[in-house]
Amino acid sequence: MKLSPNIIQKIKVTLVKETTEEQKREEEAIAYFKKGIKLSREKKLEEAVQAFHKAVELKEDFFEAYVNLGTFLFQQQKDDEAERALLKALELKPAESKPKAILADINFEKAKILIQENKMDEALERLKQAYGFRANHAYVNFLLGYLYQEKGMKDEAIKHFEAFLQLAPNAPQVKEVKKVLEILKKQE
């Protein structure tokens, strides 16, 4: 098309912002995440959990939603579901400490129940997992020391009891642990 010099022609360019399906899903996921936060502050944990579930369904790599989902499931004593959500969060961001701390607590709580049920080998495995997530958990070290002592694994018991004393020097069990350590160290 040829434009003649005496005709003024305006060309209007309209940029249309197209929102992709993925962007829509992400925005919806964020909206559910914010709803979950709001509901959790209102102490509506079941509804908050549902909102966080919806957020991770919409955006499978939503680290913060997985952490919150796991946290609130743990508070509702839904440990297996909480563990799955937190493991997914950890898979997304392996260096993050929050999911590790909660996973350590879940495994610690499960270990205590297993000890009460006299399932010492299973409890030991749970405590090892807890220790793997958070080696500076005082009471994980305390129970590891206790179970290793019960199994006759003196060196491991000493290691964990000493860690316990370092991590919780004012804990009520300190006096008892010091006596046990003294006995263990005297054994050959």
Could you tell me the two tokens for 45? 């944990």
Return the sign of the alpha-carbon dihedral for residues 66, 113, 172, 165: negative
Looking at residue 188, its pLDDT comes to 62
Looking at residue 18, its pLDDT comes to 60
Domains annotated for the chain, with CATH where assigned, are 22-89 (1.25.40.10)
Say whether pLDDT at 70 is over 80: yes
Looking at residue 5, its pLDDT comes to 53
Contact 66, 92 (CB under 8 A): yes
Could you tell me the two tokens for 173? 């069990």
**Average pLDDT for residues 147-171, to the nearest whole number?**
96
Looking at residue 103, its pLDDT comes to 95
From CA 9, how far away is CA 96, in angstroms rounded?
A: 59
Q: Which residue has the higher pLDDT, 9 or 41?
A: 41
Query: pTM for this structure?
Result: 0.80
Coil, strand or helix at 8: coil
What's the pLDDT band for 15 if we cut at 50, 70, 90? low
